């Protein structure tokens, strides 16, 4: 393998780097000699990495559920070294029936999973377009292609992110800017600790919603089969790919679930062919 030169090194912008996949991506980039600007919600969360890699890690305190704060941080970053790779990674899931969710829970969920990545993506598009290069990686999940009970707001954010990204990818491809959605399965990154539960109501306690809630409440890491180190390596390979795919599906569980969801959707669509054609004007 040829030696890495300074011109090969990139500047990464990674959200949600306090732990889990975001931290591992940050560690991976730093290990390869690259520069990282990482966002966290807890002061001091990356002090060990900053000490181990002096001058190559910038840490920004950022709450993605506060759009004004996002804009202020992005404006400051725009005045620093150009960013080559953006990873919209931060996320969590509100668990419960749609009826049980508060307006604040729904708003925060959509702001973190959809609005913040939209604002961040838009902020970096112009400089990337002007340079003729850039990578934006959106950490989605199999939840961006299917829906399960208890995750309605989460799916709203991820499905929205998928549609936004597919559209923007086609807008900027001619400028050498590539966007990729990473549809993760269950990955052992401690995501279970990022689940936030609604207040349970008696109406849903003995339904699919209640059963799903209890499964999630008692699940341990053994149900997550994805190796985060291999996920990080796959993401880096995609960043290095001169012609990356719009989507990569990571995890046998994700592949199976997405395959089944798309197959069922296609089958349902094909069954409606005559109905679809029946509403045309007759001449």
Domains of the chain, first to last: 7-254 (3.40.50.720)
pLDDT band at 2 (very low <50, low <70, confident <90, very high): very low
> What are 232-263's pLDDT values in tens digits?
999 999 999 999 999 999 999 999 999 999 99
> Average model confidence (pLDDT) for the chain?
93
Between 189 and 207, where is the model more confident?
207
Please tell me the predicted confidence (pLDDT) of residue 192.
65
In this prediction, residue 7 carries a pLDDT of 57
HEC string for the chain: CCCCCHHHCCEEEECCCCCHHHHHHHHHHHHCCCEEEEEECCCCCCHHHHHHCCCCEEEEECCCCCHHHHHHHHHHHCCCCCCCEEEECCCCEEECCHHHCCHHHHHHHHHHHHHHHHHHHHHHHHHHHHHCCEEEEEEEEHHHCCCCCCCHHHHHHHHHHHHHHHHHHHHHHHHCEEEEEEEECCECCCHHHHEEECCCCHHHHCCHHHHHHHHHHHCCHHHCCECHHHHHHHHHHHHHCCCCCCEEEECHHHHHHHHHHHHHHHHHHHCCHHHHHHCCCCC
- pLDDT score of 188 more than 90: no
Q: Whole-model pTM?
A: 0.92
Q: What is the mean pLDDT of residues 192-203?
A: 89
**pLDDT, tens digit, for every residue of 131-146?**
999 999 999 999 999 9
Residue range 48-57, pLDDT digits in tens: 999 999 999 9
Is residue 268 over pLDDT 70? yes
Residue 225's pLDDT is what?
Answer: 79
pLDDT tens profile 62-113: 999 888 889 889 988 877 789 999 999 999 999 999 999 999 999 999 999 9
Q: For the chain, give the percent of residues with pLDDT over 70.
A: 96
Residue 229 pLDDT class (50, 70, 90 cuts): very high
Provide, rounded to the nearest whole percent, the portion of the chain with pLDDT above 90: 80
Predicted pLDDT at 96: 97
* Per-residue pLDDT tens over the stretch 134-182: 999 999 999 999 999 999 999 999 999 999 999 999 999 999 999 999 9
Locate 8 and state its tokens: 């090969």
């Amino acid at each position: 393998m040829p030696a890495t030169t300074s011109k090969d090194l990139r500047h990464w912008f990674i959200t949600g780097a306090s732990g889990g996949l975001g931290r591992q991506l940050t560690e991976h980039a730093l290990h390869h000699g690259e520069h990282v600007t990482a966002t966290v919600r807890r002061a001091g969360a990356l002090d060990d990495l900053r000490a181990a890699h002096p001058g190559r890690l910038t840490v920004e305190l950022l709450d993605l559920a506060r759009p004004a704060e996002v804009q202020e941080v992005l404006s400051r970053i725009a005045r620093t070294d150009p960013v080559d790779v953006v990873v919209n990674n931060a996320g969590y899931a509100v668990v419960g029936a749609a009826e049980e969710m508060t307006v604040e829970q729904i708003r925060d969920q959509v702001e973190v999973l959809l609005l913040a990545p939209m604002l961040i993506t838009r902020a970096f598009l112009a400089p990337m377009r002007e340079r003729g290069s850039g990578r934006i990686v959106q950490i989605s999940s199999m939840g961006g292609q299917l829906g399960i009970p208890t995750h309605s707001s989460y799916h709203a954010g991820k499905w929205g992110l998928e549609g936004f990204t597919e559209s923007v990818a086609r807008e900027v491809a001619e400028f050498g800017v590539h966007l990729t959605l990473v549809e993760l399965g269950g990955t052992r990154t401690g995501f279970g600790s990022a689940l936030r539960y609604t207040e349970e109501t008696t109406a849903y306690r003995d339904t699919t919603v209640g059963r799903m809630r209890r499964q999630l409440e008692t699940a341990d890491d053994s149900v997550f089969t994805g190796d985060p180190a291999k996920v990080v390596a796959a993401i880096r390979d995609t960043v290095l790919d001169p012609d990356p795919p719009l989507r990569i599906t990571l995890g046998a569980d994700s592949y199976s679930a997405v395959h089944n969801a798309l197959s069922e959707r296609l089958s349902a669509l094909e069954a409606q062919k005559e109905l679809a054609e029946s509403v045309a004007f007759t001449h």
